[in-house]
Structure 1
């Protein structure tokens, strides 16, 4: 290891230990004889919470956070990875110092094996009334594994997961569809023709900027989001991360070894060759990517909505709805079905854990249980009654000025706290309704339709449909996953799965990028070399081990 990297590692450990030791002392504020109010201890207390999915500082001072503290006495001191997502948990384990609450995603297994987090089964049974009500018959899906059927974590994704705003495989500006007379775009080749025709007729924007055909944010981990995941989605493969799963047999295959996935990457190579792929797709940084989208120059995207939604809000705030994006069910050929409306069921797996070193385990659990309550679910999703929403004829309604801010302000959640603490805490999910018949979330098909912008409404009218779900294969048609999703598996720390996959993933990003940017006549050779290299890295062993995990999950759940 180079000296600079070693120094960085030592500094990261020092920062991590210092941070957690300092935070841990704050948890001593509550004494054992504190008063209990309304059946819940509401004495002020600070709980430290490490969120491995957060990449920025987050102060627990917004309106919703203040209300949470008022109702529970809890203030969260939220920290995020110091040395990067892949090092944070191992560094934590090496130091032996932990925050009170930990969200570790795929590294949860390492915490379990290190004895760093506690089993929650007894607490859930004795005092987890809200958690039991929220999870219902899905509670068993929180179990760690067939070998260790204990519950260590709660939260992350909704028990209900209806999709009213499908993300699609590829996206294209509404203005393009309008000018082309709302054509049928079913395949990547239809999509290519639409972009090509539009740019030929409109090479520059109104302010003279050169239009970009298809832009990717593929210089960092988003390569998987905008390139790798799209390749399998275009083949109608459900979202199982880097794998394809046979839900009947459990056979699990590293998707980049599938012969059919080659066609999508070869199409990107062709798009690059004819000048329709942004030449900066594999080098640009996030701010450059979003600035291009915000300028209205980018005709097409292949991205997740959460990754470009802030740029769309900027376009809407400037009155440029036509440059926002229609999300399309595009596949390599019409033999495949877009999986955007796929019901994966509740995945269990990942969630928030209470550390063994937490000095207020009971309060920490009570807090997590309260976050699963109806009171909390409404607050987290809707905000504060009278301030953010009203109740009219028994129905919750977002105040118009709040909805406008939500539609156009990229910092809406950070300013208000609305939606900021839904993930990764326990959540009822989209489509779930409470005892009053109201949705727990603001995402209902009625609200989605009511908040379509003018360009979206024109596109719907152009295709003769009422909402965008009508463009996609239905969830009933696609069926429910029996194993959840592979990317939510807790990987055993004594296996070499993570090592092999990381090696393959790093190589795939580099090698496929080179193949896409290379000469079309060299693509076949490059692809053959990729397959040979994956084999040398142990991809067959990876497939075998992942298949075993899927079979165990099928047995545990079914």
Structure 2
């Protein structure tokens, strides 16, 4: 936190003292870019008239070229949301995108030194580091301090602490960050736990048959499955929805956070592979126990998603792992019952980094960085979110997806009108192409962006948030630890992951716990021989760097 305060003090100094942009020039400037990147003569932050926002100082028409590194992006700034943004800022955006999502087009632009006014790409794209190293990007904190101070106030604080470069400046604005503000808001509105929360479900009719016993521990759950399986031998006991273990990136063996394991295990100030932890051993012993009791089959590691869904819908399994949104299905073999979402074990922990995903950058080839940073400040403001995502306020949906109304204020909170939201859900792309709401996530504050969707009156999710809310743990310092795939450490990690996918099923389906643990120890030795400690040292270095930058 001390570093954040000192950075803010520096920014405030820049605001007061800046009369020309070079007063706060960033350390990555290079001679080749300086001549063409001087901002046009507009008022500095200190000269913004009282009562005006920075983006209101100049609303003359301007078009900014934006490259969005997402081939699937559908809108093109012709919808009603885009028109309203232009009306309020004067900014129109000409959007281009790649044919394939492989960074090839972006890398070509970097190599040829022909970047547009705006770059948007996944925050983990290697292109960001390359552009920073080449001095091709403006420092956003310095631009904001001089031209758009609202951005420093409206942005989640993590946007300017969690992604600083080695020179302590921020060159990419990351959106959808689930930081302190977001976490406070989602808890207030029972939205921390949503439909995609991992969980286990079990058939209510079968539980009632055996007297609704306690299933709050792995041992009690296993005992209940044994009883039910004895009455229904044709049913599968536990169905883990894993598929190929190559995709088991968090080393959970299909247990969906129930044992609190994660791909990274924090051991003091070091990071180890999650499969070294005691939590992994516990989930392995649990899965092996299910196997030895004939409560687990290899279908879990073979079936496709379609087959998995078919078996759940038909009621062929007693319990299964999936997500809350899919956890209350009605099995077709007994339409008078349903699968119920189980309360989590005490060991349940879901780790989230909350690091966001998309990033916005301003190349030095941009001739109007002051207008661009003010556009970014608008998009990051609450007003920008109301226009770009919420839509038109009103009490009754007219049936017109463009003119709305789209949401109403309920107890001081925006909530989408059910009729509009139903139309949107049924034809997302069609509605979005007309009104553009929710498509221009150029500087998204996850709390404001998602607020109209959070229905804090839904009794089911009030209960789910009570059940799982305290089990969600944010660890932002674990963000982006992995090496590049083509690096030495990246190649080692791939080999270890392949080894894990080979050994995982062997460990689970061993004939006894003793044999299972023996195979597990063999796996660890082979992983170490492949160079796993080298990868763990790489993770640790990045983790420590993150923790220092975030003041952890």
For this structure pair, what is the TM-score category when the shorter chain's length is used for normalisation?
0.5 to 0.7
Contact 1:106 1:488 in 2 (8 A): yes
Q: Is the 8 A contact 1:134 1:427 kept in 2?
A: no
Partner of residue 119 from structure 1, selected from 139, 149, 156: 139
Structure 1 position 526 matched with structure 2 position 515: no
Residue equivalent to 1:451: 458
Is 2:321 the counterpart of 1:302? yes
Aligned to 1:244: 265
Residues 272 and 279, structure 1, Cα contact 8 Å, conserved in 2: no
Instruction: Provide the residue aligned with 2:273 in structure 1.
Output: 254
Paired position in structure 2 for 1:68: 82
Q: 1:425-450: per-residue Cα shift (whole Å, max 9, x none)?
A: 544344x7xxxxxx961355xx24x3
**CA distance change for structure 1 residues 468 and 231 in 2, over 3 Å: closer, same or farther?**
closer
Please name the residue that 1:397 is paired with: 415
Map 1:276-355 → 2, pairs under 5 A? 276-277=295-296, 279-293=298-312, 297=316, 299-303=318-322, 309=325, 323=338, 326=341, 328-330=343-345, 336=347, 338-340=348-350, 347=355, 351-355=359-363
Matches of 1:92 and 1:219 in 2, distance apart? Answer: 37
Contact 1:503 1:537 survives alignment (8 Å): yes
Equivalent in 169, 185, 199 of residue 170 of structure 1: 199
Q: Residue 187 of structure 1: CA displacement?
A: 2.8
* Counterpart among 439, 453, 464 of residue 468 in structure 1: 464
Distance 1:394 1:193, change over 3 A: same
1:462 matched residue in structure 2: none
- Residue 463 of structure 1 aligns with which residue? none
Q: Does 1:218 align with 2:243?
A: yes
Q: How far is the alpha carbon of 1:71 from its aligned partner?
A: 1.5
Q: 1:103·1:352 contact (CA, 8 Å) conserved in 2?
A: yes
Q: Which residue of 1 aligns with 2:177?
A: 157
- SS across alignment from 2:161: helix
CA distance in 1, matches of 2:151, 2:370: 15
Say yes or no: does 1:442 pair with 2:452: yes
Distance 1:315 1:45 in 2: 51
1:128 Cα shift? 3.6
Please state if 1:554 is matched with 2:529.
Answer: no
State the Cα RMSD in Å. 4.9
**1:359–1:198 CA distance, 2 compared to 1 (3 A):** farther
Q: Could you tell me how far apart the structure 1 residues matched to 2:436 and 2:254 are? A: 27
Asked if structure 1 preserves the Cα contact closer than 8 Å seen for 2:178 and 2:446, the reply is yes
Secondary structure of residue in 2 paired with 1:261: helix
| 1:314 and 1:410 in contact (8 A); partners too | no
- 1:491-545 Cα distance to aligned partner (Å, 9 max, x none): 6999855444343334323332443355546423321221012211222233333
Structure 2 CA distance for aligned equivalents of residues 88 and 286 of structure 1: 33
Distance 2:311 2:99 in 1: 29
Aligned to 2:496: 504
Q: Given the superposition, is the C-alpha separation of residues 68 and 195 from structure 1 closer, same or farther in structure 2, using an over 3 Å criterion?
A: farther
Structure 1 position 291, deviation (Å) = 4.8
Q: Distance in 2 between matches of 1:130 and 1:385?
A: 24
Cα distance change of structure 1 residues 189 and 46 upon mapping to structure 2, 3 Å threshold: farther
SS state at 2:301 partner: coil
The answer to whether the 8 Å contact 1:49/1:76 transfers is no
- Asked whether the 8 Å contact 2:390–2:437 carries over to 1, the reply is no
Q: What is the CA-CA distance between 1:389 and the residue it aligns to? A: 1.4
**Cα distance change, pair 544–382 in 1 and its aligned pair in 2 (3 A):** same
Kept after mapping to 1: 8 A contact 2:327/2:341: no
* Structure 1, 174-183 or 396-405: larger mean CA deviation: 174-183
* 1:112-166 Cα deviation digits (max 9, x unpaired): 4465654322222223444312236445424335x33221222232332245343
Residues 554, 271 of structure 1: CA spacing in aligned structure 2 closer, same or farther, 3 A cutoff? same
CA distance in 2, matches of 1:298, 1:363: 59
Which has the higher Rg, Structure 1 or Structure 2? 2
2:479 is matched with 487
Out of 428, 445, 459, the position equivalent to 1:428 is: 445
Report SS of the residue matched to 1:143: coil
- Structure 1 residue 96, shift from structure 2 partner: 7.2
Match of 1:544 among 537, 547, 550: 537
The equivalences for 1:172-191 within 5 A come to 172-173=201-202, 175=204, 179=208, 183-191=213-221
- Tell me how far apart the structure 1 counterparts of residues 171 and 336 of structure 2 sit (CA, whole Å): 45
d(CA) in 2 for partners of 1:215, 1:343: 21
- In the TM superposition, residue 67 of structure 1 has moved relative to its aligned partner by 0.9
In structure 2, the gaps of 5 or more residues are 1-39, 42-54, 395-403
Runs of 5+ consecutive residues of structure 1 not aligned to the other structure: 1-31, 205-209, 433-438, 458-465
Match in the other structure for 2:67: 48
Q: Secondary structure at the match of 1:302?
A: strand
**1:157 and 1:423 in contact (8 A); partners too:** no
| 3-state SS in 1 of match to 2:248 | helix
CA distance in 2, matches of 1:107, 1:97: 18
Maintained 8 Å contact 1:156/1:351: no
1:48 aligned counterpart, secondary structure: strand
TM-score of the superposed pair, with normalisation by structure 1 = 0.66
Question: Which residue number in structure 1 is paired with residue 286 of structure 2?
Answer: 267
Displacement, 1:303? Answer: 4.3
Distance 1:494 1:137, change over 3 A: same
CA distance in 1: counterparts of 2:328 and 2:446, whole angstroms: 24
TM-superposed CA distance for 1:172, in Å, is 0.5
TM superposition shift of 1:484? 1.9
Shift of 1:191: 3.5
Q: How far off is 1:329 after superposition?
A: 1.7
